[in-house]
């Protein structure tokens, strides 16, 4: 009778040790996934695409200041939205030759709200299921659609921008002149 109790105790000990190993493995694996998801998505030569991490943070009070009538070779065609004390929703479009760039976005009261706005928009658009956080108050999603159209969503501190362009080349050219 003493032998079955010892076997049962040994079996319980082995099962508990196995459970601990599985849980530790899950924690380590989860940590590796989390660390990988926080790595920057990079552009050429390892830099963050469009240097989003180093762009100016808007300090404007109106949408007309945010989107001037001219940005180098681009002419503003539409402008909607209001900023009140630096917060609000906005939209604008610019043209250069045959290319039309559409921008929508918002300025929020805090970083968490801007991040949440971008995540919700990206998920609703079916672009992603989770936004990678890059750090220093910014994150982004770049999506090249089948039609070769491009969509860039990003937030920087309290600002969120949704930029659509007819091609990657058109987006690249616009991001050279758009300071935010």
Task: Give 100-156 pLDDT, tens digit per residue.
Answer: 999 999 998 888 888 888 888 888 877 765 555 566 677 888 887 666 689 898 988
Q: Quick one: 9 and 70 in the same domain?
A: no
CATH number at residue 165: 3.40.1000.20
Q: What is the pLDDT of residue 5?
A: 64
Q: Residue 99: pLDDT band by 50, 70, 90 thresholds? A: very high
Number of domain units in the chain: 2
Q: Quick one: 5 and 61 in the same domain?
A: no
Query: CA–CA separation, 96 vs 167, rounded Å?
Result: 13
Q: Quick one: 26 and 55 in the same domain?
A: no
Higher pLDDT, 86 or 39: 86
Q: Quick one: 88 and 164 in the same domain?
A: yes
Q: Quick one: 51 and 109 in the same domain?
A: yes
Nearest to 163 by CA among 147, 146, 143, 148: 143
Q: Quick one: 17 and 97 in the same domain?
A: no
User: Distance of CA 91 to CAs 107, 109, 120, 155, 180, Å?
Assistant: 12, 18, 18, 15, 14
**Mean pLDDT across the stretch 164-177?**
95
How many CB atoms are closer than 10 A to CB 33? 10
Q: Residue 8: pLDDT band by 50, 70, 90 thresholds? A: low
pTM of full prediction above 0.75:
no
Domain residues for 7? 1-37
Q: Quick one: 58 and 146 in the same domain?
A: yes
């Amino acid at each position: 009778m003493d032998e079955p109790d010892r076997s049962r105790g040994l079996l319980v000990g082995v099962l508990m040790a196995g459970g601990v190993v599985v849980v530790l493995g899950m924690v380590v694996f989860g940590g590796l996934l989390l660390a990988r998801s926080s790595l920057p998505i990079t552009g050429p030569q390892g830099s963050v695409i469009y240097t989003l991490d180093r762009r100016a943070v808007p300090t404007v009070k109106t949408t007309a200041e945010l989107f001037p009538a001219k940005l180098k070779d681009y002419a503003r065609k539409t402008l909607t939205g209001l900023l009140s004390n630096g917060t609000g929703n906005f939209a604008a479009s610019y043209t250069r030759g045959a290319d039309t760039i559409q921008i929508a976005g918002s300025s929020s009261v805090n970083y968490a709200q801007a991040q949440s706005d971008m995540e919700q928009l990206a998920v609703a658009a079916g672009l992603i299921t989770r936004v990678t956080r890059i750090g220093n108050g910014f994150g982004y999603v770049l999506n090249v659609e089948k039609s070769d159209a491009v969509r860039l969503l990003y937030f920087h501190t309290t600002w969120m921008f949704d930029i659509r362009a007819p091609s990657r080349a058109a987006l690249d050219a616009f991001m050279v002149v758009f300071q935010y």
